[in-house]
């Protein structure tokens, strides 16, 4: 999995590694993540003096996308990450539902990695 972080301001290497570590932890819930894009934006017009963040997680099927804003960049990331983690878990539960017709296929794919 590749993680891309785009930021219009200087983000410390400690914060970058923190972001990458949290994104890599999502592979516990979804093993087929291929790419993650993290975009920070300053003052986009909707929320003055706020930093907005968008995270797009590339997985087979529909991508998972979250967005949040806060005056602090890492607080915005934390809020967006919580939402992203919730969506990944929900997606896993739906795909592994006992009534799902693709449950057996998902078990085969998840157990082969």
Q: What is the pLDDT of residues 48-98, one digit of tens each?
A: 788 999 999 999 888 999 999 999 999 999 999 999 999 999 988 877 776
Average pLDDT over the chain, rounded to an integer: 87
Q: What separation in angstroms does the CA of 23 have from each of 11, 16, 28, 37?
A: 16, 11, 10, 10
Q: Where are the domains of the chain?
A: 2-112
Contact 95, 103 (CB under 8 A): yes
Q: What is the pTM of this model?
A: 0.81
The structural architecture, per CATH, of the domain 2-112 is 2-Layer Sandwich (3.30)
**Of all helices (H) and strands (E), which one includes residue 39?**
strand 35-42
């Amino acid at each position: 999995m590749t993680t891309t972080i785009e930021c219009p301001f200087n983000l410390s290497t400690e914060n970058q590694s923190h972001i990458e570590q949290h994104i890599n932890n999502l592979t516990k819930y979804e093993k087929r993540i291929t790419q993650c894009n993290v975009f920070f934006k300053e003052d986009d017009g909707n929320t003055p003096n706020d930093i907005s963040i968008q995270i797009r997680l590339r997985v087979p099927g529909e991508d998972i996308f979250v967005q949040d804003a806060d005056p602090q960049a890492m607080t915005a990331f934390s809020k967006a990450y919580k939402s992203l983690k919730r969506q990944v878990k929900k997606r896993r539960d739906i795909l592994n539902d006992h009534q799902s017709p693709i449950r057996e296929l998902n078990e085969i794919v998840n157990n082969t990695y």
